Structure 1
Amino acid sequence: MTQKTTDPLIQLSGVNRNFTDGPAALREVSVTVGRGEAVAILGPSGSGKSTLLNMIAGLDRPDSGTVTVDGVRVDGLDETGAARYRRERIGMVFQFFHLLDDLTVLDNVLLPAELTGLGRAEARRRAHTLLETLGVAHHVRAHPGRLSGGERQRVAVARALMNRPPLLLADEPTGALDSASGADVAGLLRDLHADGQTVVLVTHDVRLAEETCTRTVRIVDGRIAADEPTARGRAARQAVTR
């Protein structure tokens, strides 16, 4: 199991975010995620967890505080810079997959590589390898609408990993799946982390967090209420100290 390193991949310091209506979405949030960690951001609806994810992804900016990911000051990027940052450093997986139904599985996975200008031969080789690794290579010519929810999420993960990003963000990745498919995707996230992928998972599902991550960060009313290891995280630490 991959351990947290001393090299931080994500650093948020004193982040505040206010919207016109209602209470502040984030209040003095400071958190660090090391390379190779799998961290779950837990909280009920309206707690601020999705806003925090958007800060890390460069989809939103704080009113104050700093957001640094992989050495990039994300809060200081303009729209062009933020788009380039997401292409090069972030892979995103969503609750409802966001696959393009008029494209085949292969073409969906190839999209990120086309945006970065990766050569077509290398892109196709990489896409086929990912689809094989994730167990959906036999659907390469199918359209997403013909796949199960769990299979579509595996294709979405392949697309997210296409440009080999240092960080994978997953926003309620099992929220639209039945229990069996959800368990399948949870296992996939666990395997990716074991192979060295840094994962930040946003969810309200405590069981999913415990099964896939080594650490949980709980948010309540825009503030970090707790930051603690999961049972997997504690077991990993004990294994290292033996």
Structure 2
Amino acid sequence: MTNAPMIDLRGTTKKYDDGPPALAGVTLSVAAGECVAILGHSGSGKSTLLNLIAGLDKPSSGTVTVDGTRVDQLGEAGSAKYRRASIGMIFQFFNLLDDLTVLDNVLIPAQLAGMSKGEARRRAVELLGTLGIDRHAKAYPQRLSGGERQRVAVARALMNSPALLLADEPTGALDSSSAEDVRRLLLDLNADGQTILLVTHDVQLAATTAHRIIELVDGAVARDVVTSGRDAAVAVRTTLTRPAGEVR
């Protein structure tokens, strides 16, 4: 058993060209089993942080460690393997393949990971049942509501039992009812032990879903706040006065 954090960034900076850094010396950690929201306006560094954690981009300096893996040191093949094994991703616009059935969409990560057909199908059917969309297994995504499509996307993200679930604006394309449905789903997943990093600009979603809110401003951590259920943030963990500093 280890007490190592699920996500550990140390002095992580990402620069593009000669402009200001997209991420500026960020140091933070997320424990296994936490649900943490990354909050910030457009251009704050949220997407850059997500891409570094997912192994889709490399930091200019500093380190990125996820579930014991130095993600910043992986090559292209290693990054792809890491995402298949350790990361599940949910996107704002679902990213489902409309020419495949719901079941076939959910099976894709298992096929890429080399899971046996029988095991993969059992896992997919189980997930669809758990998420309440098994009746749509043979349907095509375009025939489903937005909330149902996001549930399919969640099932796909969970297919390989990832250590970390990354949710990038998961309710941004949904109506209020479907958004609440997805919010409750994230709460249920986290209650079952799933580590979740929720990236959003929605203060209400962050405050009612996550244990902590980490606010980014101009690529730096401006606040690290503990939340309590449906209450507003109740304690400021860290307020930075400079772009770089340690949080948690």
3-state DSSP class of the match of 1:8? coil
Please tell me the residue identity of whatever aligns with 2:118.
A
What letter matches 2:147 in structure 1? G
For 1:25, the aligned partner's letter is A
Distance in 2, matches of 1:31 and 1:135, equals 35
The superposition leaves residues 107-157 of structure 1 with CA deviations (integer Å, 9 ceiling, x where unpaired) of 000000001111111110100000000010000000000000000000000
Q: What amino acid sits opposite 2:13 in the alignment?
A: N
1:4-153 pair list within 5 angstroms? 6-20=3-17, 22-153=19-150
Query: Where does structure 1 lack aligned partners over 5 or more consecutive residues?
Result: 236-242
Q: Deviations over 1:31-75 (max 9, x none)?
A: 100000000000000000110000100001100000000110000
Alignment partner, residue 196 of structure 1 = 193
Alignment of 1:148-187 (within 5 A): 148-187=145-184
Within 2, Cα distance between the matches of 1:228 and 1:114? Answer: 39
Q: CA deviation at 1:224?
A: 0.2
SS in 1 for 2:115: coil
Contact map agreement 2:208 2:230 (CA 8 A) in 1: no
Q: Considering only aligned residues, what root-mean-square deviation do their CA atoms show, in Å?
A: 1.5
Task: Tell me the TM-score normalised to structure 1 length.
Answer: 0.93
Pairing 1:218-233 to 2, within 5 Å after superposition: 218-232=215-229
Task: Count residues with an aligned counterpart.
Answer: 231
SS at match of 1:96: coil
**CA–CA distance in 2 between the matches of 1:61 and 1:87?**
18
Residues 233 and 52 (structure 1 numbering): CA distance in 2 closer, same or farther, change over 3 Å? farther
Partner residue in 2 for 1:240 = none
Q: Shift in Å at residue 228 of structure 1? A: 1.4
Equivalent residue, structure 2, for 1:239:
none
Which structure has more helix as a fraction of its residues?
1
Percent same amino acid among aligned pairs? Answer: 65
Amino acid at match of 1:147: L
Give the distance between the partners of 1:137 and 1:161, measured in 2 at CA: 15
Given that 2:207 and 2:231 are in contact with CA atoms closer than 8 Å, whether structure 1 keeps it comes out as no
Q: CA shift at 1:23, angstroms?
A: 1.9
Question: Mind listing any 5+ residue stretches in structure 2 that lack a counterpart?
Answer: 233-248
The alignment partner of 2:229 has SS state of helix
Cα 1:161–1:43 shift into 2, 3 Å: same
Q: Counterpart of 2:204?
A: 207
Residue 210 of structure 1 and its aligned partner are, at CA, apart by 1.2
Q: Distance in 2 between matches of 1:216 and 1:189?
A: 15
Question: Matches of 2:46 and 2:3 in 1, distance apart?
Answer: 25
* Aligned-partner SS, 1:224: strand
> Which amino acid in the other structure matches residue 211 of structure 1?
T
Give the 3-state SS of the residue equivalent to 2:6 in structure 1: strand
- Runs of 4+ in structure 1 deviating by more than 3 angstroms, as ranges, are none
